[in-house]
Amino acid sequence: MIYLELLWSFMQIGLFSIGGGYAAMPVIQSQVVDLHHWLTLEEFADVITIAEMTPGPIAINSATFVGIQVAGIPGAIVSTLGCVIPSCIIVLTLAFFYYKYKNLRMVQGVLEGLRPAIVALIASAGLSILILSVFGNNGISWAIHQINWVSVALFGAALFVLRKWKPSPIVVMLGCGVVGMLVYQLTPLGG
């Protein structure tokens, strides 16, 4: 049953995206792209882009998007529900212990142990989007004509701007989008 699959899948996403924001990304990719093939890597990259441009958490945004693509509006509701249920149970349990003992040491210890792993997982998901954007769907190849040099240039410029001036990510992404659109549409580089 597709609804149960969506629910279970997004419950895992809710349960294992620890640390907020980008931490959800590798778990979503693993469930939605690698395990269930509900989205292609390209569509996944689009979802992340859209999620970054719209308000609301990445996990909820992708739950809605994937849910609708797979099983319409009810699918979106079920996926979002799945995303929220683990949070609900765990947060309320922790709050209970917090009000009782005022001590979150073990939880914070676990979180500290997880942080380096989360960084690595985000890096891996980010790298797969970068490779998609530079090499397209065919995967890594070092033949000069297979490399999308527009993407390489945009990526380099964006990273430089982000490191140097720390602007809002939305501005940087929109900038890349507009420059990319003009170059791809108005010059022969778009081919």
Partner 1 sequence: MKKSLQVYWKLFTSTFYLSAFTFGGGFVIIPLMRKKFVTDLDWIEEQEMLDLTAIAQSSPGAIAVNAAILVGYRVAGFPGALVTILGTVLPPLIILSCISLVYEWFRSNAWISALLRGMQAGVAAVIIDVVWSMGGKVVKSRDWISILVMCAAFAATYWLKLNVVFIILFCAALGVVVTICKGRKERAQDKGESE
Rounded to a whole number of angstroms, the distance between the first and last alpha carbons of the chain is: 42
**Residue of 33, 9, 55, 12 whose CA lies nearest to 125:** 33
Nearest distance from residue 104's CB to partner 1, in Å? 6
Residue with smaller CB distance to partner 1, 46 or 141? 46
Task: State how far the Cα of 10 lies from the Cα of 86, in Å rounded to an integer.
Answer: 10
Number of CB atoms found within 10 A of residue 82's CB? 25
Residue with smaller CB distance to partner 1, 4 or 127? 127
Residues 90/14, Cβ–Cβ less than 8 Å: no
Nearest distance from residue 142's CB to partner 1, in Å? 18
Nearest distance from residue 177's CB to partner 1, in Å? 4
Which residue is listed with tokens 């949070």? Answer: 87
Residue with smaller CB distance to partner 1, 7 or 61? 61
Residue 52 CB contacts under 8 Å (≥ 6 apart), including other chains: 58, 169, 170, 173
Residue with smaller CB distance to partner 1, 92 or 143? 92
Instruction: Count CA within 13 A, CB hemisphere, residue 55.
Output: 0
Residue with smaller CB distance to partner 1, 4 or 117? 117
Nearest distance from residue 37's CB to partner 1, in Å? 14
Nearest distance from residue 112's CB to partner 1, in Å? 6
Task: State how far the Cα of 159 lies from the Cα of 166, in Å rounded to an integer.
Answer: 10
